[in-house]
Every structure is written in structure tokens, then in C-alpha cells.
Structure 1
Amino acid sequence: MEKSLNNRLSMFGALLCALIAPVSAALDYTDTQSTIDTPQFAVINYDNQALEQLYGQNALDKIEQIPGFALVQNTASRGLSAAGGNVLINGAMPASKSESLSQILSQLPAAHITALHFYSTGHPFGSASQYNQVINVLTHTSSITTNWQTHSKLTSAYQQYRPSELAAQFSVPMNAWKHQINIHYQDDRYQSVSTIESQSAQKIITEVGSEDFFEKLNSRLLSLNSTRYQATNRLVLSAKALQDDWQTDFYRLYGSMHHALNQTWQYNESIDTMEYEFSADWLKKLSQDKQLQLVALQNKKTTNNQSVTRETGEQNDVFKQYKSHQEQVMLFSFTAPRSFLKPEVGIEISRNQLDAVTQASGSQIASRVSEIRYLPFVAFTYTMNSQWKLYTRLNTEHTKLKSTTASTHRSDLNFMKPLLRLSYESKNSWDFALTARRHVDQLDFNHFVASQDAGFDRSQSGNHRLQPSQFSELAAQLNARLMDSLFISLKVFNQWQKDIHEVVTLTNGSAGLGNAGNATLLGSTLSSTLSTDNLLSGSQLSLDYEYSTARYHDPLTGTRATTGLTPHSASIEFRRDMPNYSWGVDITLPESATYFYQDEIFVERDHTEINAFGEYTLSDSLRVKVAVSALNSAKYTYTQTYFDSRRGEIFDGETRFNDQVKPVVTVSLTGTL
């Protein structure tokens, strides 16, 4: 496998060079960033000393310290609209499906960043027009540099294992081009120990035991990124190859109360993933700052899943699944930011296909899901005056979906997804935005095929008739800077959801994800940062809190919350950033989430968790960081409540897992050559 991967990566490098060479000869070079920040939007600039005060080893570290900014990453799986989020790099949204936005930002060394521009209620970037808040990261590399990172986790929980992570970025300016090569290797491991207790419907303890859980991720990534700027053009070429080997092992020893624990249960699962990706992003500036953009992406991902369940006195249960997912996407857009209504118009076209072969319980099922999506859009911005702006956008979608297992199901889906945002920027350090929109979630192709969760003894059938869930939302957001020492960001929203996804009984009598009707969701997020510089120089105290509540009419149990809802989430952080060192402590308060299945309610709870870090600059080119996660030991409680045949009927017992993870110490070194 290693030899094959190395050969393919070499081929990618050669192909990228072949792509770069002819284009490099055809373009002239002018050193300029892609989209110039225009003065018509209020912006907070972090550069020079202000940038240095945002202590950190990479772009992600610095962005997470900006008061009032909440990083948003798209979690949808298909299309270019599913990539990236509300952070741009040199005015461009990273076109990647193999890496999340946070992963891309964590690979951008702090030494390459020249400025961070924070827009809180409006911005000039059409590619991120769906977001109120945007950060544009400006970079510059004028010489050949090598940045490297290494992370080692040291803890007795891993026994003889010493997990590690190595990463290096090579930046090579060459004529008019800026080339960057990223190499990343990860051998990360996780281990926990649980106690188990089961009781009958009569509240009598029937079984007790313990469980050891071990998880390992071995990951290798090689990416090549080449960017060329000139006065009227920007071209970004990218190629990536990723290999993940993921392994999970459960070992459970259990038995009757007050007797020897003589029963064993083992579950071993391995998932091997190979992913290849190519993308090209071309931006052309016309007269009066008009812009044409063309983005193309090709992605192929294969996954091989194999698991074996062994239990005393029973025959081994084997589950195998092979999946191959291919995607081709093209996006065309035109913007005229200097025109009266600042029009934006474009279309995204994508083709996706997932093939899966599943072997379980002695049978084999072949599944295929394919779709072609057309997403034209148009948007306008009306500037009423220097303070009021109205942004309107209409996204439309036409999708031809075909899914096949034992039978074939075809769907033609058509949606209108309008967005309206009214924003106000005060001259007194506060701003406000009111947003109304219609949103349609993407379908996850993995829900069309069978799956299992052996850790909690559950399996689900695929539903090839699944329709996307959607909602209408009204949201208001207020950002305020008080006395130059307190920043507050408050957002409240209400969603009217339709065709929500819940586990239901399918037509074949088995359980699976299905469309379950309508629901309402009310939520709010609060973020505040208080400068405590008068108490301790360079220090600040931050508080983040989220609240959400939902109402869904369940035909089995009546009105309840939707599956997976976390009602409360809160964290507190105190940190001090000085020119040569930084340290901090953060506390995450307890959370809980409830999941509803046909004959079971599953509740996941965690406890207060304390994390701490300290970072020190050894020299201009070397930093060291020591972080301790779960300083007080992380504790989790999982409760399964069973019912006789259907949830809401006769109580049939309960199983409780009390899980604990010991503290993990991570030592990191970051350097520049």
C-alpha cells in the first residue's frame, strides 16, 4: 500500500508541474492580493503589532482569539458550496473537499500571515456572501521557507504508545508563482475505560462489567498548491492525496451480579480510506472591479470497512462494506462590486455517484446513488446610506437523483432558497444584522446504504427514498464593543423545519433514517470577551454560550425535542498573551444530547472538563507549546433506555456506561527554516 501511494503522489506532483508550466509562460506577474479590501465596509485590521498580539502557531490559533468572531465550517458533503466557510485566504475561499477549513487554517504558518481583516456585518467577497461575518487572511512569501510542526502526546493512558504528529510546509516563490507543498503525518490514539451496569424493567441489576476502548488514526496527506497573482488575474491550482487508516477496538468483560465475570464481547473495526483531489480556481478582473470566476474540482474517495463481532457462545458476526464516491464540480460566477446594486450571478453544476457493496448476516447488497445538481443564483446589494445595507440573494436548485438497491427510485427535486439580510453599522462601535432565509440541507449519500454501530448494538437499513430536510429561518445578530474593553456578540434565531430526519420504521419493517414531519427550533448564541489588562497585562476573559430548544410531534411519544439536540453549551477561557510567551486555562461546562430510536432512548452526558496550555518563544524561528487536555480527567455517561417493542410503550430495562479518559499532555514544537 505504501509503495502504491508513493507512486501516485509522485504522479500528482508531475501532473501539477505539467499544468503550471504552460500557464506560467502565458501570464505576466504583478504582486497583488486577489480581492482588494474596499473602504465601503467596516473592517477591523489585525496587522503589525495587533497581529503579533494574537499569539499562536498558525492561522487557526490566531483566528480563534479574535473577539466576536465565530468560525463557521460547512458540513455538507457535496458541491463547492459545501467546502470552506467564513474564512478566506487572500480573498479566495479554499476549494477543498478532502480537508476541513480548520485543517487548512492549521496548516498555514503564522510566519506567512501579514494581516487579518475582520468584517462583522458586511464584506466585499461574493464567494462568502451567505455569511454575515468574514475574516480575510492575507499572506505573503517572498523567499523560500520551510515551516514544520511536531506534536507528541505523553500520557499513561496509552501505556507503551506515544502518539505523534508531524507536518511540514514548503513555500517556494518561483518567478510569478507561489508554490506550497504540505506534508502531514498523524498517528493519533485514544483510549478510555468504562464501567457497565444493566438493569431489568423491575430495576434489578442483571449484568455488570467493564469495557476497554481503543481507537487509532493513521493519516498521511500530501498536497501541492500553486498560486499566481497579477494585476487582473488570480490562478490557484491544487492537488491532494490522502490516506487514512482508522481502527477501533472494544473489549468487554461482563457477567451476573455477585458472580465471576466470565462473558466476553469484542468488536474490531477497520476503515481504510483513499482520497484524491484536483482543483483549479481562476479569477479574472475586468474594468471597474468587475470579476469573473471559474472553479473546477475533481474528487474521488474509496472506503473499505470491515468489522468483526465476537461474543462468548455465539458465532462471529462479520460486516463488510466497500464504497466508492466520485464527484465533479464546476462553478461560474460574475460580480460587479462597484456597480449600483453590486450584482452577483452564477451557477454551480455538480455530478456525484456513490457505489456501495455491503455484506452482512450472510447476504450481499449492492447500492448506487447518483445525482446531477444545477444551482443557479443571483444576488444584489442596495446601499441605503453609509450605515444601512440590504442584501438579497436567490439560490435555486434542480436535482435529478437516482438510487438503486433491490429497486430503482428516481426523484426530481426543485427548490427556491431566498436570503434577505438587512445590516446596520453604527458610528458608536456597534452593528446589527437581521436575516431571513430558506435553507435546504444536502442529502448524505451514506444514509442510502446500510450502516451499523456495534458499540451500542444498533444497525440501520439504508433509505433510498430519503428526501432533504429544509427550514425557514429568521435571525438577528448584534455586535457591540463597549469601553474598548468588552466585546459582546449575541445572535437569536428561530427555524421552522420541514421533512426533518429521524429514525423511523421503513417500508421493509427495519429501522432507518427517514423524513418525519415538521419541527420548530429556537436558539441563541452569546460570545463575550473582556479585557482584564488592568488586572494582569495582556490578559482577557472569554465566555461562549449556546442555547437551543426544539418541538417535534413524535407519533410514538408526543411532543419532544429533535434527535441529537444539545440544549446548553458553555465554555470559559482565561488567557494571557505576552510578546514571548502565552498561557491560558479553559473550562467546558457539562453538556448532554438525546437520541431517539424506535425502541430506545440514548442519552450522552459529559462532565466539566478543564484544559490548560503554555507557549513560549525560544527564538525567532522556534516555539514550544505544552497543552494538557482533560486536566481533571474527562468523564462521560452514556445511558440506553429500552422499551418492549416501541419507544413510549413498556419500559424494558436500562444500560449505563460510565466512561473516563485520563489527562493527555501534548508537547508541540513549531519552527521555521
Structure 2
Amino acid sequence: MFNVNHALFWLSLSVICATNIPFNVKAAEHKDEVYSTTFFDQYSPLTALDMVNQLPGFTLIETDDDIRGFATGAGNVLIDGRRPTTKSGGINETLSRISAAQVAYIEILRGASGSSDAAGQAVVANVVKLKQGAAKHWKLAFEKTGNGELSPSTEWVLSNHIKGWDSAFKFNAISQKSPRDANISTYGPTMELLSYQQETRPSTLNDIFISGDSKKQFNQHTFSINARVGWSQFVTDNERLSYTQPQQNQIINRYQNDRDSQFYTGELGLEWQKVLAPHWQWRILNINNVQNWFVNSFSFDKPPNEDIKNATRLRFDEHKSEHVLRNVFSRTGGEQGMLKQQEYGLEVAFSNLESWLALERQDLLTPQLTNKRYSQAKEIRGEAFANLNWQWQKLVLDTGIAAEYSQLNVTGDNSDEQSLFFFKPSLALAYNSDKNRQYRISLRRSVGQLDFSDFAASADLVNDREISGNPRLRPETKTKATLAFDQRFAEKGAFSIALYYEWRQHVLEHIILPSGDYALGNAGKAEVKGITSSLNLPLHQWVKGAQIAFQANFIDSTFIDPVTNRNRQLTELTTPDITVDFRQDINQHHIFWGISYQDYQRRKEFYVNEYSHFHTYGRWHVYVEGIVFNDLKIRVDISNIGDDETKWQRKLYHPSRHDALQQLQVTQRHRDPTVNISFSQTF
């Protein structure tokens, strides 16, 4: 829920700071918010991603994989006016392959864009690349954790023209160690202490990814390719030592869980463009993505001087694929009166998932018990859409409409078949009172993307949690109304605030199925309200080369719990989300430093027989970077200053949250500060 005083304090601070800025300061050198490369020279950027992150008052929004459709979940960054034909890795991956030396300029597009490539985004950054140019850059980093272990990572990017193809390739690898400790106290129904545990959980993340893109012009045709392949492994070794009381040395039980999760992915994106007539263009996009995920987990209990008991082995396999074909006809410019842009198109997609889960249990008194489950889900989806952009003096109107039909088929241990139809209109109106101030109002209906993994059963051995698959899942729908204000001042000053209200239907929450199993399911209606605000404040008049940025997001919801029939918050909403960043650029010495603070966050999770509350405490981050000989950039980051602490309260009920409390677990998690040093260079 909202902490009203907290929200009012941060929003008032932002408004006071923004409204007390002297607006007669020297105007920015860029006009109509076109940022040339000279603007970014002071930051010594390595890639286009570094440049986008330095845009005043701009926050990069990744592609939203929770929304159906290639365009509907679009992020707020375009490259040469188009969204890259990729979903794997997102826009961050693509921007990191573009060297800063290959960027001509970045322009900010405000109000409705009229293009589905940035559907629903009020502020969009368009990165315009140079037509020619080659560049290379590399980065090598080492992170030291609290226990002294080193985690190396590296990144290499090559951009060049190869036989007329404008190409870029990237290789990145990491082996990141992240130890975590915790104290766990378990209480009974009357709050008597049942057990006390000390947990150690070292983990290692190993990643290797190779990606690339290439583009070539053939007369009036343009063809581009995006590709990415990779492997990721996450290994944990969880040990919990149990005692009767804190501060005691006598161990009464040792719990061990070893988990090895491996993920393979491959993606190929193709795009063909052709100019049909003056101002008209035809585009065909195709994205193909394949993912394989494997999990092996083994856990057991072992009291002192006794044999292993309660041993459980888990094997989980998941194969997922998605294929999207999109056909778009668009018109921009020309004599159309108030109608400035038109776009019409069709999209078809096929998704498939196969999942296997095997659980083997054995203790001293019972023989081995095996539970195997299999599920397959397939969906064929088609969508027709149209987007129109209208402009009249200082008003910009964006209208859109889409109709979607899909067939969903689930087989395996549970089976079902559904036919679904969705109507998705959108309307956005922007008023630009001057070139620095804008007011926006929008109303948009969207459909959530189903996670096909939820059709299949899953298990969490560490937290003793099993979730059944649900073949009757359908996508969540959302109608969102937004009222926003945006103000620019000076060269780096920006203030924005947005209030929104959402009406959600078929929300996905954990429910009791007719069979009596516990699973994720469609649980009815909910309403969500929130506030987002940001302020980028230049401090040059007081501290040379300094600026400070505030971001504050608050969210609240109303929902009738299907288990308890009481009003509660939706699961996994994190609020508040508040950050403060201070940065100073000492350009004459090529030194830059900064400090940031992430305020506390709260998150709630609801299962049928469980309620969890997470409270993450505030933490600090400090960095300093500089340019030395041969344009070598060195950066040092210190994260989690003051330690990374999270308190987790977990309430367990039987048989459901509608019944009596059985146990309360209070977990205090802890991570030590980390130090990261990186070296990078463009050549």
C-alpha cells in the first residue's frame, strides 16, 4: 500500500526543486531536443547505451515481455526510427553493440509517435546512426565480493562495413559469484520458537552470449538481420544449520540443497523494407526464438551422527519456442491535412512449450516415491491493427485499434482448449504549450502475455513449495488511463510526473483448482493506481559540473482475495521505488564521480497457503571513473554500502490462508558490499 507521507514528501521535493529553477538560464545548444555527439563528449561514452543513459530526464524502458504482441510491449528507444527485430536481450543488448563513435545524434520524440514501434510510449529516444564508420571497443571487469572471491567479466564489440553490410558483433561473458547469508527463526501458532537456522547460500552465475546485427540497402529495399545465441548457468549451494535456540553451538540438523540451472537460447530476427510510393513503405518482420531450460536439484536432511533422511531429487526440463511474422504498411509525411502518419498491418505468431517435471522422494521409513508430470501448450495467434497520428497546431492525437484472435491448446497430465478474442483500442492526446512543456492524457487497453511455464507444474525444494499446472489459464487484460506533465529547462534540466489508474480483468493469482490442487489461475478483477515522477536538476550554479536526479514511483492496488474473500494488494507489486543520484563531471581532468541511494522497498506475495512480506532496506552506491593514457577508461564501483539487507516474513497456513496460522518464519538476509573495477577502451 501507499505510504502517503513518504509519497507526498518525495513528490513535494521534486515539485519544489523543479518550480524554483531559474528558467532564464542559458538555453541548451540542441534544438527540438536533438542531442549531438558534442553533448555527450563530457561523459566519454563507450556505447550508444551509455549515451541514452545520460539523456536528461530520460529513463530507458525495456521491451515489456508481459504484454502480447511484438509492438504492444515496445520499449521507448528506436534505432534509425525503428525498433530492432529482437526480443532476446532487449534494447540494452542492441544499444551496447553500437559504438558511441557510430552515433550521429539522438533525438527525443514527445507525444504520440504514430508508430507501433513505440506504441504506448509518451517519450521516445531515437538513436540515429552514421551511415559509415567502423569501431571497436572492449571492456574487462573484476568484482570482489565480501568473502574475497573475484568475479571476472568481459565484453568485446566489433562494428564495421563488410561488403556493403553495416554490421556489429558482440561477445560477452561473466562468472559472477554472489554469496548470501541469512538467519531464519521459525515460530509456532502461539509465537513459541520452534527452531533457529543459519543459512549460507553461495551462488555462481555463468553467462556466455554472442550477438550481432547486419543491415544493407538494395536500391529501394533494405534488409536487416539480428541474431543472438547464448548459454547461462546458475548454481547454488544452500546449507541451513538448525539449532534449538540462537547463540547455541549444538547443531540438531543440517539441511542441504544443491541446484544447477542451465539455460540455452537462440534467436534470429529478419526485417525487409521497401519504398512503395512517395511516403509509403512496406515492412515484413520475422522473429524466431528457441529456449531450453534444465534444472537439477537435490536436497536432504542430516541430523548429527545419523544417516541422510528426507532426500528429494528434482529434474525439470522445459523447451520453448516462438515464431512471429509481422506485415506493416505505413505512410509518413505528404499532404494529408491533420493526418500525419498512418500504419496498417497484420501479425501472426505461433508459440509452443513442452515441460517435464520429475520428483523423487525417499526417507528412512518409506520406499522411493516418484512423481512425474508432463505438459505441452500451443498457441496460434493472429492480430490486425491500425494506428493513425493527427496533428493540429500544438495538439498531437494518436489513435490505434487492434483485434486479436487466438487458439490455445494444452495437453499432457491436464488438457484443455480455448478460443480467445481481444479488442485493443488506444487513444493518446498531447498538448505542447511550448517546446519545453507538454501535457498528456491517454487511455489504452492491452492484453498480457501468458507465461507458458504456468501451464506446467513446478516445485521449489528449498521453500517446500509445489505448484500444479493449470490448463485453463487465459491472458490478463488491462485498461490504463494516464495523466502526465513534462517540463524541460536549461541544458540538462527535466521534470516529469504521471498519474495512472488501471482496471484489470482475469488477473493472475494463486487459486485452488476444482481438483483441489494449488495453481496460478485467473482470479477476477483488480484496480491499480500509481504515481511516477522524475527530476533531473543541474547544479552548475552551485557546484561546477554537478547534477542530481530523483526518481520516485508509488503503486497501490485493490483486489478481492479468492482464498480469504478479503480485500488485499496484488501479489509481487514493489513499492516504493525511490532513487537519488548525484554526479559531478570534472571535465578538465577527465574525472567523473557519483553517489546514489536506493530507498527501502516492500513486496508482498500470496500463495494459497502462504503469505510473504519482503522488506529491502536502503543502500548506497559510489563510483568514480577517469580517462588515462590512450583513452583508457577506468571505473571503480562500490555497491551495497551499509550492506544489502532484506527481511522476509513468511506466514504458513493449513490448509489455506482462510484457516489458522501454523507457522511464522522470519528470515534476515544479508549481502556484503562489493567492489568492482573495470577497464574499457574504444579504438
TM-score (norm 2): 0.88
Give the partner amino acid of 2:280: K
Answering whether residue 71 of structure 2 is matched by residue 63 of structure 1, we say: no
Answering whether residue 440 of structure 2 is matched by residue 433 of structure 1, we say: yes
C-alpha deviation, 1:145, in angstroms: 2.9
Q: Aligned partners of 1:647 and 1:156: how far apart in 2? A: 39
C-alpha deviation, 1:240, in angstroms: 2.2
Q: Aligned partners of 1:48 and 1:238: how far apart in 2? A: 26
> Deviation per CA, 1:43-94, whole angstroms, max 9, x where unpaired?
4111132122345433333322322322222332675337751111222212
Pick 1 or 2: higher relative contact order, CA cutoff 8 A, min separation 6: 2
Quick one: which of 631, 641, 644 aligns to 1:634? 644
C-alpha deviation, 1:481, in angstroms: 2.2
Alignment of 1:386-465 (within 5 A): 386-427=393-434, 429-465=436-472
Structure 1 partner of 2:64: 75
Change (3 A) 1:110 1:174: same
SS in 1 for 2:278: helix
Quick one: which of 73, 94, 116 aligns to 2:84? 94
Q: Does the Cα contact within 8 Å between 1:91 and 1:125 map onto a contact in 2?
A: no
SS in 1 for 2:479: strand
Structure 2 partner of 1:129: 119
Q: Aligned partners of 1:637 and 1:407: how far apart in 2? A: 37
Structure 1 partner of 2:367: none
Q: Aligned partners of 1:110 and 1:578: how far apart in 2? A: 20
Give the partner amino acid of 2:61: V
Q: Aligned partners of 2:222 and 2:79: how far apart in 1? A: 12
Q: Aligned partners of 2:116 and 2:566: how far apart in 1? A: 44
Q: Does the Cα contact within 8 Å between 2:183 and 2:199 map onto a contact in 1?
A: yes
> Deviation per CA, 1:138-181, whole angstroms, max 9, x where unpaired?
22374543211111102333x4x321111111112134221212
Structure 1 partner of 2:348: 349
Stretches of structure 2 lacking an aligned partner (at least 5 in a row): 1-30, 303-307, 361-369
C-alpha deviation, 1:455, in angstroms: 3.2
Q: Aligned partners of 2:490 and 2:131: how far apart in 1? A: 37
> Deviation per CA, 1:369-427, whole angstroms, max 9, x where unpaired?
001110110111121x2210111100211111101122431111100000001111122
Give the partner amino acid of 2:330: T
Structure 2 partner of 1:669: 679
Stretches of structure 1 lacking an aligned partner (at least 5 in a row): 1-41
Quick one: which of 323, 327, 349 aligns to 1:328? 323
Change (3 A) 1:483 1:113: closer
Change (3 A) 1:482 1:262: same
- Which moved further from structure 2: 483-492 or 528-537? 483-492
Give the partner amino acid of 2:577: S
Structure 1 partner of 2:7: none
Q: Does the Cα contact within 8 Å between 2:530 and 2:553 map onto a contact in 1?
A: yes
Structure 1 partner of 2:191: 203
Q: Aligned partners of 1:95 and 1:459: how far apart in 2? A: 37
Structure 1 partner of 2:611: 601
Structure 2 partner of 1:25: none
Quick one: which of 273, 289, 292 aligns to 1:299? 289
Quick one: which of 545, 552, 562 aligns to 2:559? 552
Number of aligned pairs? 629
SS in 2 for 1:163: strand
Structure 1 partner of 2:312: 317
C-alpha deviation, 1:471, in angstroms: 1.4
Q: Aligned partners of 1:219 and 1:83: how far apart in 2? A: 26
Q: Aligned partners of 1:496 and 1:656: how far apart in 2? A: 34
SS in 2 for 1:552: strand
Answering whether residue 110 of structure 2 is matched by residue 120 of structure 1, we say: yes
Give the partner amino acid of 1:268: D
> Deviation per CA, 1:323-347, whole angstroms, max 9, x where unpaired?
1112221111011111523211011
Change (3 A) 1:142 1:275: same
SS in 1 for 2:92: helix
SS in 2 for 1:61: helix
Change (3 A) 1:246 1:484: closer
Q: Does the Cα contact within 8 Å between 2:508 and 2:520 map onto a contact in 1?
A: yes
Q: Does the Cα contact within 8 Å between 2:37 and 2:103 map onto a contact in 1?
A: no
> Deviation per CA, 1:432-453, whole angstroms, max 9, x where unpaired?
1110011110111010111123
Structure 2 partner of 1:37: none
Quick one: which of 456, 476, 490 aligns to 2:497? 490
> Deviation per CA, 1:561-595, whole angstroms, max 9, x where unpaired?
11112231111111012432211100000011011
Structure 1 partner of 2:591: 581
Q: Does the Cα contact within 8 Å between 2:112 and 2:389 map onto a contact in 1?
A: no
Q: Aligned partners of 2:201 and 2:345: how far apart in 1? A: 49
Quick one: which of 366, 371, 390 aligns to 1:382? 390
Quick one: which of 35, 41, 46 aligns to 1:46? 35
Give the partner amino acid of 1:452: A
SS in 1 for 2:641: coil
Give the partner amino acid of 1:205: L
- Which moved further from structure 2: 497-506 or 177-186? 177-186
Change (3 A) 1:465 1:168: same
- Which moved further from structure 2: 100-109 or 43-52? 100-109
Give the partner amino acid of 1:440: V
Structure 2 partner of 1:288: 278
Q: Aligned partners of 2:145 and 2:33: how far apart in 1? A: 41
Quick one: which of 361, 374, 397 aligns to 1:366? 374
Q: Aligned partners of 1:530 and 1:57: how far apart in 2? A: 24
Q: Aligned partners of 1:661 and 1:406: how far apart in 2? A: 41
Structure 2 partner of 1:16: none
- Which moved further from structure 2: 512-521 or 449-458? 449-458
> Deviation per CA, 1:232-265, whole angstroms, max 9, x where unpaired?
4332112321111221221111121257123111
Change (3 A) 1:82 1:481: closer
Alignment of 1:515-664 (within 5 A): 515-555=522-562, 556-579=564-587, 580-619=590-629, 621-664=631-674
Change (3 A) 1:154 1:485: closer
Quick one: which of 208, 212, 227 aligns to 1:239? 227
Q: Aligned partners of 1:83 and 1:391: how far apart in 2? A: 17
Change (3 A) 1:239 1:568: closer
SS in 2 for 1:455: coil
Change (3 A) 1:277 1:485: closer
> Deviation per CA, 1:452-500, whole angstroms, max 9, x where unpaired?
2333222211111111111111111110124667421001000111111
Structure 2 partner of 1:29: none
Give the partner amino acid of 2:94: I
SS in 2 for 1:80: coil
Alignment of 1:263-282 (within 5 A): 263-282=253-272
Give the partner amino acid of 1:334: F
SS in 2 for 1:343: strand
Give the partner amino acid of 2:343: E
Change (3 A) 1:637 1:108: farther
C-alpha deviation, 1:126, in angstroms: 4.3
TM-score (norm 1): 0.90
Change (3 A) 1:54 1:259: closer
C-alpha deviation, 1:549, in angstroms: 0.9
Change (3 A) 1:47 1:407: same
Q: Aligned partners of 2:159 and 2:204: how far apart in 1? A: 31
